[in-house]
Each structure stands twice: as C-alpha cells, then as structure tokens.
Structure 1
Amino acid sequence: MIGRIWLKEMKEVLRDRKTMGFVVLFPTVMLPALILCFGLVGYQLLLTKQAERINYGLIGPAVWVEEVEQALASVPNLNYIDGVNRQRVSMLINEDRLDFVLQMLPGFDPLTNPKSQWQMLYNQTDDHGQFVRIRQALTSLQQQWMSRYLENQGVSAEVIQAVEQPMALVRVETAEERQSVGEKVGGVLPFLLLFLCMMGAMLPALDIGAGEKERGTLETLLMVPQPRTTLVVGKFLVIATTSMMLALLTLASAIFWLLAVGYLLDLNLFIRLAKLVNPMDIGLLLLLLLPIAGVFSAVLLSISIFAKSYKEGQNYMGALQFVAIIPAMVATLPGIELTRQNAWYPIFNVSLATKELLKGTFAYYDLAAVFASNLILASLLLWCCVQWFSRESVLFR
C-alpha cells in the first residue's frame, strides 16, 4: 500500500510541470551557467583592475627618491607624480588622485645603514593585487642597495653573493593531485549538495502537505482505510525521492559542465577535476546523502502538515535553510577534518566526509558512523512526523 501511495503522490508532484521543470533545470543548467558567467566576469574585472594605470608618489631624500623612481620605471602602467605634499598624502589617496605613496624616513641612507622601515600608504579597500608588481620591483632595488653597502664595507663579491642567496629553497609537493584539487573544491560541493537536497525536498513537501489542505484533498486521503503511518511513509518517500534525484542531477551536471567548459576554454584544471572522481566515490557520496535526504524530508513534511496554507509553509521553510547552510559553512573552516568523534555529528559529518571523498583520503570505516548517525536522526524525525500527522488539531488547524 505504501507503494501505491508513493505512486499516487509522485503523479501529483510531477503533474506540476512548471515547478518540476524549474527543479530540474536549476541545478543542471541555470546554476552552472550563473556560476560560469559570474566567474568569468569577475575574473576579467580582476585582471582589468590589476592591469590598470597606477598613480604614485615618493617621499624621502631626493637622491634616493630618484633611484626608486628609476627602479619602478620598468614596471608597466605606473605614473609617477612629483612633488607630493607630506601633509596631504591621506587626502590625495582617499580622493583617488594617488593610488599609493612610498615614504622613506628622514635620514635614510642604504650605503651606511641597510636596515630601514618604509611606509606604503594606500587605500586598503582598493587593493586587488595590483601592488604585487611594486613589491617585486622594490625587492630587486633592495638587493642592489645591499650589494653596494657590502662593497662599501669591503666585503668580497663571493661573500656578497652568498649573503644575497644563502639558501635556495625548492618546493616539492608530496600530496597527490587529487588531494590538492579536492581540498580546494571540497568546501564548495557539500554546500551546494546540502542546499539542493533541501530545495529538492521543499517543493514536493509543500505540495503534498499544505497544498493538499488548500485543495481540500487531505480529507479524502484520510478516508483511506490505512494507518496514518502508511500515509506518512508514502509521502515521506516521495519527498526523499525528489531530493535524491536533485542531488544526482547536480553531480551529473557538475561533471558534464566541468568537462564541457574545460574543453571549450582549454582549462586543464576542470578536465582533471572531472576525471579524478571515480564512479565508486560518486556512489558513496549518494549513499551518504540518502539519510540526509530523509532528515530534510521528515522535517519539511512536518512543517508542511502543520502549515495552514502553501504560503505559510514557505515562510517556515525559508528559515529552515540555515540548517543545511550553517553545518556546510563550518565544515569549510581551515583545520577541521573528519575524525571518529565528529563522524557521529549529523549533517555536519556529511560535509566533512564529502570533502575527504573528493580528496581521496576518506577512511571507509568511517562511512558506517556517518551513515548511521544521519539514519538514526532521520528515523527519529520520521517517527515524530507520524505522531504529528496523527493529531487532528494539527491536520485541521
């Protein structure tokens, strides 16, 4: 009988083709397209900002100001403004007439004292990485001044070379490519999956709970000679099915878009990322999401049953989205990893497990703890939903 109720409710949900069309198109077409468009636009704006012309000034002893100006002359898109008033520096920067000012302390002389503190005055709210090339040019000038200082002190050229580069540090990465890429992407995918799992459960939950109240079909369903538990489980399975379908479509579309965009824009990182995840890991990820879909389905069905109307149910469910968002955000904090202790924390553990799966460092024996904790929570919430559905004061508010 549960199967018949599930089939009946699925037909009711699928009958609203506009809503279901949006549910399918949002994670597969609309969301990836929005992310791609905003990502490309943001990247182009950042490159434009970093390459734009920079006006700067120098304050300090004239002889050294001239050398600094010559050193910065090789940096592209720099415009030196002479005669900057020391008293009006902050005002000139805040009025966008200058982008930054280098200030050397009075008495600065690199030939007698190579150690000195400079000040770079700039508007920190307008720093988008465009000052990196300034620091590189100043580092080269600093090395030249150090060499001249050591020569004045009678130090040989061999010693100067050893002082300038006493140690050559070569960075050798030991982590596999999958771990490196998975660490960067692992904080984004759980966030999207949990949010979309809730979104996939929200619309059908509203329709088969509060929607039935508005249509007046709930009373007819209650006349069926079946226990309330059977009715609730049938509705619950419909919501969980749509939630998992949305998660599956999201994963499939993510792999498709990574490959498509990677080949079209010649982005090897996207192609490697899509090929790093194997079918077994996708299957495990869906397995981990299964009880999460049950948790969301039970909670949302309870809210929908309680609500007097479709609109009231929407108001309640809007605030509930933080249940999915906050644990996913906490899991992205640096230093937080899946352990045997936090593997038993519902919802939160799925975000960490997803990250470990993408990195390829997931301890498969922790899968039982992650799955069991969320399954227990889903079962308890389903039991509460059955009790809620059995109260006439709730059904006919």
Structure 2
Amino acid sequence: MIGHIWRKELKEVLRDRKTMIFIVLFPTVILPTLILVTGLMGYQMLSAKQAEVLQFSVAGPEPWKTDVVKALNTLVDTEFIEEESGDLQQLVSQGRLDFALHLHPSFDPVQANQSRWQLYVDQTDDHGQFARIQQQLTVLSDNWLTLYLNHHGIESEVQQRIFNPLLVEKVGVAAQRQHVGSRVGSVLPYLLLFLCMMGAMLPALDIGAGEKERGTLETLLMVPQPRTTLVVGKFLVIATTSMLLALLTLASSFIWLLVVGSVLNLSLFLTLAAMISPLDIALLLLLLLPIAGVFAAILLAVSIFASSYKEGQNYMGALQIAVIIPAMIAMMPGAKLDATNAWYPLFNVSLAIKELLKGTINYGDLSYVFASNLILASLLLWCCARWFSRETVLFR
C-alpha cells in the first residue's frame, strides 16, 4: 500500500511541470552557469585591478628619494607624480594618488640606525596590487644593506650569511588528491546539503500544505489505511526528489568539471574530475541518503503544520539558514573526521564528504556517519507520524 501512495503522491508532484523543470535545471544548468560566470568575472576584475597603472609620489631627502623613484619606475605599471606641496596621506585618501611613500627626513643607508618609512595606501582598495611595490622596496632595501655592509668593511661571504642565515625549503608531502580534495571538499558539502533541502522543500509543500489548500487531504484520510502508512508514502516521495536533485548535482558537476577544464585548460578541474571514481560517487550518495530522509521528515512535519502554502514557505525559508551551519563545519581550519565527531548528525556529513574527496576516509568512521544520520531520520519520521495523527494539526 505504501507503494501505491508513493506513486500517487509522486504523480501529484510531477503534475507541476514548470516547477519540476526548474528543479532539474537549477543544479544542472542555472547554478553551474552562475558560478562559472561569477568566477570568470571576479577573476577578470581582480586581474585588471592588479595590472592597473599605479600613480604614486615620494617625499624624502635626496639622493635617496631619486633612488626610490627609479626603483619603482622599473615596474612597467607605475607612474611617478611629482607633488611639491600637499599632504601625501590626504592625496591618497582623496584618490588623487594610488599610493605614496614618505621617507624619514634623516634617512641615510650607511647609518647604523634603522629607518622607518610610511607607505600610504587606501586599504579598502587593496586587492593585491600593492604587493609588487613592497617587493620592489625589499630589493632596494637589500641593495642599501649591501652598501651599508661594504661601508663598514664587511666581507661578501659574511654578507651572504647575514642576508640568508637559514635556507628553508618547503616540501609538500600531501598527495595531489588530498590537496585538491581538501579545497573542493570545503565547498561541495555546502552545495549538496543545500540542494538536498531544496529538492525536498517544494514536494513537501505540495503534498502537505498544498493538499490542505486544495481540499484533497480529507479525501486521502478516508482511505482505510493507518496514518503511518500515509506518512511513510509522502515521506518517500520527498526523500526521492531530494536524492534525485543530489544525483543530478553530482552528475552535472562532473560533466561541468570536464567541459570547463578542457575549454579553459584548467588542470585543477581535470585533475579533480579524474580522481573521482564510481565508488566515491556511490559512497557519497550513500551518505546523502539518510540526510535526504532527515530533511524529508522535518519539512513534511512543517508542511503538515502550516495552514497554507504561503505559511509553509515562510517556515521553510527560515529553515534554510539551519542547513548552512552544519555545512560550514568542513570549511573550518583543522576540521577532521574522527571516531568521536563521526556520531554528530548532519555535521559529520560535511566532514565525511571532505575526507572522501581527499581519499583519506576511514571506512569505519563512514559507517558511524551513516548510522547516526539514519537513526536521526528514523526518529524524525516517527515524530512526523505522531504529528500527522493529531487532528488539531491536520485541520488547523
């Protein structure tokens, strides 16, 4: 009987073709396109900002001021503006200069005292374009340090020891899959959990609050079946659409990674697509299965409680914020799945997906993640069935 109810409710959901088309197109076309376009626009804007010509001025004693100007003018994207009068800090604040450098009035590179300069920049407009200025000043400072050491008779071998007292070579030991999977695994759980909830939201509204508005709920209650059977049938429909949306998201993500990586020649995307195996996808879907059940039970209970479709939308809109919190746990530095936090429902899924993409998953912990979320989904389904049996809730 549950199968008959599942098919009946699924037909009701599929009847709204415009909504279903949007549900399918959103994770497969609309969302990837928005992410790609936004990423490309952001990259182009950042590149243009970092490559723009920077107008600057320098104040300080000669001949060191001239040396600084010559050093900065060796950069092809700088332009010196002579400012005989005026406050340099104010000129930068007003936008007339991109940055300004104020040398100490008594600066002399052969003197023993350390000199402190001031580099005026608008920090609200700093997008990495001033890094090259700092690098050029560091080169100039090293040259002056050499001049200082030569002036005081320090031999060249001793100078090298002073400049480089210790050479440390940073060698990454993590495998490429761990490196790439760590980055992607911080974002993918957020998208999957959000889309799982989105896939459950519209069907839940339709077969709960929507039936109240259409007046078909009373007819359904006349069926000679326990209300638990009716709830389970509705629950399975919502969980089915939620998992379908997650499956579409994974499939479209894999295809988009291959297409974008090939067209734009992005080796990172191609590497990520190549490292995902069918077993990884199967385990990821297995992790999302109880999560779809959790969302289905919660949203069905909310939809049953709502007296209208609009009221249900208001409740579920607020619930979307609750999805963000457990999904963001994987983005926190040092977040790692272990035998303890593997039992924390919802939060553990984000960490498990991240470890799965990195290829460092402990399959024992994976079973804990699945079991904890399955227990939570079963408990919520039981609560939803009890909720559905209350006349004051059904006919409010």
* TM superposition score normalised by structure 1: 0.97
Give the Cα–Cα distance (whole angstroms) in 1 for the partners of residues 361 and 19 of structure 2.
Answer: 37
CA distance in 2, matches of 1:184, 1:60: 46
Residue type of the alignment partner of 2:101? L
What residue is the counterpart of 1:383 in the other structure? 382
The verdict on how the C-alpha distance between 1:84 and 1:392 changes in structure 2, with shifts beyond 3 A counting, is farther
Q: Secondary structure at the match of 2:55?
A: strand
User: For residues 101-180 of structure 1, what are the structure 2 equivalents within 5 Å?
Assistant: 101-113=100-112, 115-180=114-179
57-66 vs 47-56, greater mean Cα deviation: 57-66
Deviation at 1:59, TM superposition (A): 2.1
- Residue-by-residue CA offset, 1:206-255 (whole Å, 9 max, x unaligned): 01001111111111110100000000000000000000000011011001
> In 2, are the aligned partners of 1:186 and 1:356 still within 8 Å (CA)?
yes
Q: Match for residue 200 of structure 1?
A: 199
Contact 2:71 2:140 in 1 (8 A): yes
How many Å apart are 1:185 and its aligned residue?
1.1
- Following TM superposition, by how much is the alpha carbon of 1:84 offset from its aligned partner in structure 2, in angstroms? 5.3
Question: What whole-Å deviation, never above 9, does each CA across 1:105-126 have from its counterpart, x for those lacking one?
Answer: 2311111237322221111100
1:44 maps to 2:41: no
Whether the aligned pair in 1 keeps the contact of 2:329 and 2:351 (CA below 8 Å) is no
Asked if the contact 1:114–1:145 (Cα under 8 Å) also holds between the matched residues in 2, the reply is no
Q: Distance in 1 between matches of 2:131 and 2:283?
A: 43
- The aligned counterpart of 1:362 is 361
Structure 1 residues 343-370: Cα deviation after superposition (integer angstroms, max 9, x where no partner): 1111111011111111111111101211
1:84 to 1:189, Cα distance in 2 relative to 1, 3 A? farther
2:316 aligns to what?
Answer: 317
2:13 maps to 1:3? no
| Aligned partners of 2:209 and 2:307 also within 8 Å | yes
Contact 1:102–1:120 (CA<8 Å) still a contact in 2?
yes
Distance in 1 between the 2:172 and 2:84 partners? 46
SS of residue in 2 equivalent to 1:102: strand
Q: What is aligned with 1:350?
A: 349
Question: Where do 1:1-397 residues align within 5 Å?
Answer: 1-83=1-83, 85=85, 88-113=87-112, 115-397=114-396
* 8 Å CA contact 1:49, 1:128 repeated in 2: yes
Q: Percent identity?
A: 64
Instruction: Name the amino acid aligned to 1:285.
Output: L
Distance in 2, matches of 1:116 and 1:369, equals 60
Residue-pair matches, total:
396
CA distance in 1, matches of 2:150, 2:296: 76
Q: Report the Cα distance in structure 1 between the residues aligned to 2:85 and 2:385, rounded to whole angstroms.
A: 76
- Cα distance in 2, alignment partners of residues 333 and 145 from structure 1: 43
Q: Once the two structures are superposed, what CA deviation does each residue of 1:358-387 show, in whole Å capped at 9, x if it has no partner?
A: 111111110121111111111111111001
For the residue of structure 1 that corresponds to 2:316, the secondary structure is helix
Structure 1 window deviating more from structure 2 (77-86 vs 184-193): it is 77-86
Partner letter of residue 68 of structure 1? V
Tell me by how many angstroms 1:104 deviates.
2.0
RMSD (Å), alpha carbons: 1.2
Tell me the distance in 2 between the aligned counterparts of 1:334 and 1:162.
Answer: 36
SS across alignment from 1:365: helix
Are the counterparts in 1 of residues 257 and 273 from structure 2 also a CA contact under 8 Å? yes
Give the superposition deviation at 1:62.
Answer: 2.2
Aligned-partner SS, 2:203: helix
Distance in structure 2 (CA, Å) of the matches to 1:104 and 1:355:
49
Which SS does the other structure have where 2:170 is aligned? Answer: coil
Counterpart Cα distance in 2 of 1:267 and 1:52: 25
Q: Which moved more, 1:105-114 or 1:223-232?
A: 105-114
| TM-score, length of structure 2 as denominator length | 0.97
What's the CA shift for 1:91? 2.1
In 2, distance between residues paired with 1:361 and 1:129?
34
The separation in 2 between residues aligned to 1:3 and 1:57, in whole angstroms, is: 77
Aligned mates of 2:364, 2:59 — CA distance in 1: 63
Instruction: Verify the 8 A CA contact 2:254 2:273 in the aligned structure 1.
Output: yes
- Alpha-carbon distance between aligned partners in 2 of 1:85 and 1:206, rounded to the nearest angstrom: 68
CA–CA separation in structure 2 for the residues paired with 1:296 and 1:61: 69
- Code of the aligned partner of 2:196: C
Q: Determine if contact 2:5/2:233 at 8 Å carries over to the other structure.
A: yes
- Counterpart amino acid of residue 33 in structure 2: A
Whole-angstrom CA distance in 2 between matches of 1:253 and 1:83: 57
Kept in 1, the 8 Å contact 2:185–2:330? The answer is no
SS in 1 for 2:115: coil
TM superposition shift of 1:162: 3.1
Quote the Cα distance in structure 1 between the aligned partners of 2:115 and 2:339. Answer: 51
- Checking the alignment, whether the CA contact within 8 Å between 2:56 and 2:99 is kept in structure 1 is yes
For residues 4-49 of structure 1, give each alpha carbon's deviation from its aligned partner in whole angstroms, at most 9, with x where no partner exists: 1001111111111110110000000000001001110110011111
